Structure 1
Amino acid sequence: MSIKYQIINTEDGSHTLKVAGTDITFHSTKGAIQESDHVFIKSGFEHFIQQHPSKKLFPSWK
């Protein structure tokens, strides 16, 4: 059995893959860009910086 995928447009103008014949998508239908900003930037990176203000993510950079 082969799984078929469709490329669909999301609300923020980005694209994601959808498993054909289902409601399963790889990213939020609100948008992959919006999802990445929320998950990785706001909930990840910015949270880390707030919790660890003295940490350097790229210590070799001057």
Structure 2
Amino acid sequence: MKVLEVHENLDRQLQDSCEEDLSEKEKAIVREMCNVVWRKLGDAASSKPSIRQHLSGNQFKGPL
């Protein structure tokens, strides 16, 4: 339990220090880049069954 508390404290400290280093414009750019990546991953997952299965952890390839 103590390890989890220490980990959470470190995460908060890192987030606080990272946020101080980025300007609002930089934060907006990073958010938009994340949105693009998530959108592309979602598009790929919905268009290709093998990718969807891989992302969900399902290794079943279907009948040969």
Smaller-chain TM-score bracket:
0.3 to 0.5
State the structure with bigger RCO (CA 8 A, min sep 6), 1 or 2: 1
Question: Per residue, is there more strand in 1 or in 2?
Answer: 1
Question: Per residue, is there more helix in 1 or in 2?
Answer: 2
- Higher-Rg structure is 2
TM-score normalised according to structure 2 size: 0.35
